[in-house]
Chain A
Amino acid sequence: MSAQIPISTFNPYRGEKARLVRAYDYLILVLALFLFIGSFHLHFALTVGDWDFWVDWKDRQWWPLVTPLIGITFPAAVQAVLWDKFRLPLGATLCVAALLLGTWVTRVFAYHYWNYFPINMVLPATMVPGALVLDTLLMLTNSLTITSIFGGAAFALLFYPTNWPIFGMFHQAVEYHNSQLTVADLFGFQYIRTGMPEYLRIIERGTLRTYGQYATPLAAFCSALLCSLMYPLWWYIGKWFADTRYLKSI
């Protein structure tokens, strides 16, 4: 299918053709924006969902492990097409930005205006810095291997420190009825969720502290390893879906 054009005969589009291909760009951009808000958000909400919805799910063990691991999927798949075929180093940032747009609209209109949850209880996490690193690293190295190992790791390792300026303050301790809680826990206790009992949270509940209570870095490095594997896996998934074959029958 590829239209091979020798360098010597290459003529850039001008006039109407230039306008036409630009119009096509805009159509694709609108298409892609809603596509990635819709698809990446559904994928994310049904896998990371609860950790991202609620302030009292953002723990040290699971949140920094699960979020980058699931969050690196669509960015890798979209980069596989946009970089490989167009040399556009924006697949990761586009996916993450689209996800955040969809998330914010929902948090405001579905949680706050419909069901009265304060927005500060349902603030989303951001993966923008990790996505920027993925895009720029892929662009500068043009290497799937280097982007997988270092980009994937950076995507995971940057997640928690990126979000600590947003959520750190919710981890201040409060003495509440003879017990110690974080402000985040208190949101879960006070702002009633009929369908979300405390025990449902999949959060760090304490375990053998072989490594001296360094829970977050351990979770982040575990996530870094997994993201380094997840990235190439999803790169190839993206490639597989971007097949251009026409079949005789389905």
Chain B
Amino acid sequence: MKVLFKPWLLALLCLNVLSVLTVPTAQAHGEKALEPFIRMRTIQWYDVQWSTQKFNVNEEVSVSGKFHVAEDWPISVPKPEASFLNISTPGPVLIRTERYLNGKPWTNSVSLEPGGDYEFKVVLKGRLPGRYHIHPFFNLKDAGQVMGPGVWLDIGGDPGDFRNTLKTINGEVIDMESFGFANGVFWHLFWGVLAAGWLLWWVRRPLFISRYRMLDAGLEQELITAQDKFIAKAVLVGVPVLVLALNAVTANRYPDAIPLQAGLDRILPLPAQVNAGTVNVDAIKAEYNVAQRAMLLQVSVDNRSQGAVRIGEFSSSNVHFMNAELADVGHMPGKDDVSNNGLSLDNNTPIAPGEQRTVTIEVRDAAWESEKLDGLIKDADSRIGGLLFLYDDVMGKRYISSISAAVIPKFN
């Protein structure tokens, strides 16, 4: 056995040697594996910002932003009747201290309405130093996780500086990091010693072959002695009495204990922010050119606003394709989820008030492939979805439309 096991150890050693080679650090959390139609047509995030990306243990950081719940919710995804705004972290390196939806604090899950607009804020506190890639995201019941945009957070300082104390309704101040730990260990040891004592009481004498033989020979009465019976009776009576007594003491100590709280939070959407009716956009057709990694979107724009508007951005699954012609809006150089020249139009002239125009938008970028959004053409549901941002430069206004259309693949 020894000889045969040696290659295993050698392999592990080799593995460790191989692993010292430098490779890029993971920057995402597996969101690319989720079908694109779910990422594009459920929670549509925008304007997500972090208060800071560098802070110390015990200091707070907040992430805030907005999201639109797509009207064209995929048939295969259960409706968001229970949803939970979460943070993807490699364990609780941060703790979540506050969370707001449309300005209201909430701690449980919430029902979202398709077509609804929401703004959120989550406050976190650094717990363990390190550099972590963190996303806000939604857990959608029975549908999975829909990620918001991620950033790197640098948490400095000393883990010993972390404090998380709270006051109960009865006024007791508790330290969440250690609360109930020593008590739990004590009771486990207490019962563990009793269990060990009972086991050792039997294990100390000959067991299997000896007892089987004696039982087979009709010597059962010698296997269970009067002393065994006395101890068993004491255990049989004493243990339940002790359990009930300890329970009574605890119940007396915490008379105001309450059950776990499990209500669904009820928070209504904001007044319409997306598809608000001032500038209407309707997607007519979408074609994806595989070779060019380009999505051609044909949309009909109906400008009912007071000013001329121009299409500045198409955003889907946290990738922002920007119109280079509108360098003054939303241009974000250096961000890896922004394609600054990714969007171009067949007609870049502003769409006048009252005008209805059919526009062909080319959204061309390697991100379709690198973000695995082009997987759409291989999905059972191949409809694209996203947010189209239109700007009125003069009035300084922004109009957002959530659009969707079936995608027709073009392979050459």
Query: Within the complex, which residue of B92, B168, B209 is in contact with A191, where a contact is CB–CB below 8 Å?
Result: B92
Say yes or no for B95: interface residue by CB 8 A criterion. Answer: yes
For residue B210, which residues in chain A have a CB less than 8 angstroms away from its CB? Answer: 12-13, 21
Give the interface of B toward A (CB within 8 A): 29, 82-84, 86-99, 105-109, 127-128, 139, 141, 145, 164, 166-170, 172, 174, 176-181, 183-184, 187-188, 191-192, 194-196, 198-199, 202-203, 206-220, 223-224, 228-229, 232-233, 235-236, 239-240, 242-244, 246-247, 249-251, 253-254, 256-264
Closest B residue to A160 by CB, please name it: B247
For residue B206, which residues in chain A have a CB less than 8 angstroms away from its CB? Answer: 13, 18, 21-22, 25
Assembled-state Cα–Cα distance A75/B178 (Å): 33
Docked-complex contact A88 and B202, CB < 8 angstroms? yes
Docked-complex contact A132 and B219, CB < 8 angstroms? no
Give the interface of A toward B (CB within 8 A): 2-7, 10, 12-13, 18, 21-22, 24-25, 28-29, 56-60, 85-90, 93-94, 96-97, 100, 104, 114-120, 123-124, 126, 128-129, 131-133, 135-137, 139-140, 154, 158, 160-162, 164-187, 189-194, 197-201, 203-206, 215
Assembled-state Cα–Cα distance A102/B256 (Å): 34
For residue B88, which residues in chain A have a CB less than 8 angstroms away from its CB? Answer: 194
Docked-complex contact B257 and A172, CB < 8 angstroms? yes
10 CB contacts below 8 A, A to B, read A10-B219, A21-B206, A28-B207, A29-B203, A59-B259, A90-B202, A132-B194, A180-B258, A192-B87, A197-B139
Q: A22-B206, A126-B188, A198-B84 are in contact. Are A179 and B254 (CB under 8 A)?
A: no
Assembled-state Cα–Cα distance A77/B298 (Å): 67
Q: A116-B92, A180-B258 are in contact. Are A186 and B176 (CB under 8 A)?
A: yes
Assembled-state Cα–Cα distance A169/B223 (Å): 44
Docked-complex contact B105 and A120, CB < 8 angstroms? no
Docked-complex contact B91 and A115, CB < 8 angstroms? yes
Docked-complex contact B261 and A116, CB < 8 angstroms? no
Closest B residue to A173 by CB, please name it: B169
For residue A191, which residues in chain B have a CB less than 8 angstroms away from its CB? Answer: 92, 95, 176
Assembled-state Cα–Cα distance A119/B188 (Å): 13
For residue B127, which residues in chain A have a CB less than 8 angstroms away from its CB? Answer: 116
B163 to chain A, nearest CB (A): 13
Closest B residue to A137 by CB, please name it: B236
Q: A132-B198, A133-B240 are in contact. Are A194 and B86 (CB under 8 A)?
A: yes
Query: Within the complex, which residue of A174, A184, A192 is in contact with B92, where a contact is CB–CB below 8 Å?
Result: A192
Query: Within the complex, which residue of A115, A139, A154 is in contact with B240, where a contact is CB–CB below 8 Å?
Result: A154
Docked-complex contact B229 and A97, CB < 8 angstroms? no
Assembled-state Cα–Cα distance A90/B213 (Å): 18
Query: Within the complex, which residue of B91, B180, B217, B262 is in contact with A166, where a contact is CB–CB below 8 Å?
Result: B180
Docked-complex contact B247 and A161, CB < 8 angstroms? yes
For residue A181, which residues in chain B have a CB less than 8 angstroms away from its CB? Answer: 107, 261
